[in-house]
Chain A
Amino acid sequence: DQQVKQNSPSLSVQEGRISILNCDYTNSMFDYFLWYKKYPAEGPTFLISISSIKDKNEDGRFTVFLNKSAKHLSLHIVPSQPGDSAVYFCAASGSNTGTASKLTFGTGTRLQVTL
């Protein structure tokens, strides 16, 4: 039962353009969402998060949008840079899902930013 889904395994974007990574979830108890970036042989690095009381959160080149009614969130990266090439994971947690802050991850989207 995949509660967090990233349906695009890969995405290629030209440098300077916008990258949009998508994530869907099924558990309505999730109320906190995060995006992590991962390079090979390293642990996930936190990028940005959003609480369910908001629909948008922005941090520099990164913006996360949350659509609770559609159970969908997206990460926008503008402008995309070659150093953004990595695997991006969407994760979710919920105060009512049992373990405090246990994260449920999607399967990841590999972003490649080309010159």
Chain B
Amino acid sequence: DTGVSQDPRHKITKRGQNVTFRCDPISEHNRLYWYRQTLGQGPEFLTYFQNEAQLEKSRLLSDRFSAERPKGSFSTLEIQRTEQGDSAMYLCASTAVGTQYFGPGTRLTVL
């Protein structure tokens, strides 16, 4: 399977804990995106990498959020001091140009 993969698929955590998600894009794709989807809404853009450079962050991405793509391959998204409002599906997508292909997402539940 050469699609986008994400790990874990589900994460339940207590408020105040830190969580980290991983995304492995399609291997030849140099662009990687993180989106967040809440109930009843479409995915919303969080941040974007071209190779290892993080080129844009949405204002949705508070200072508790940090993303990395250290070698231009996989990426991690960390949320510090989680809040109940962080509960959502976190989606990763990758592309070389044009169409973005999405991973299965990580469902975060903050209790």
Contacts and interface: CB of A to CB of B under 8 A. Distances in A.
6 contacts: A43-B103, A46-B101, A49-B99, A101-B98, A105-B44, A108-B41
A41 interface: yes
A contact face: mostly helix, strand, loop, or mixed: loop
B contact face: mostly helix, strand, loop, or mixed: strand
A94 interface: no
B42 interface: yes
Interface of B: 4, 6, 31, 33, 35, 40-45, 48, 50, 55-56, 91, 93, 95, 97-105, 107
A107 B91 CA distance: 16
Given A49-B98, A105-B42, A100 B104 contact: no
Interface in A22-60: 32, 34, 36, 41-46, 49
Interface residues of A, number: 24
A100 B48 contact: yes
Given A98-B56, A101-B31, A45 B102 contact: yes
Contact of B102 (A41, A43, A108): A43
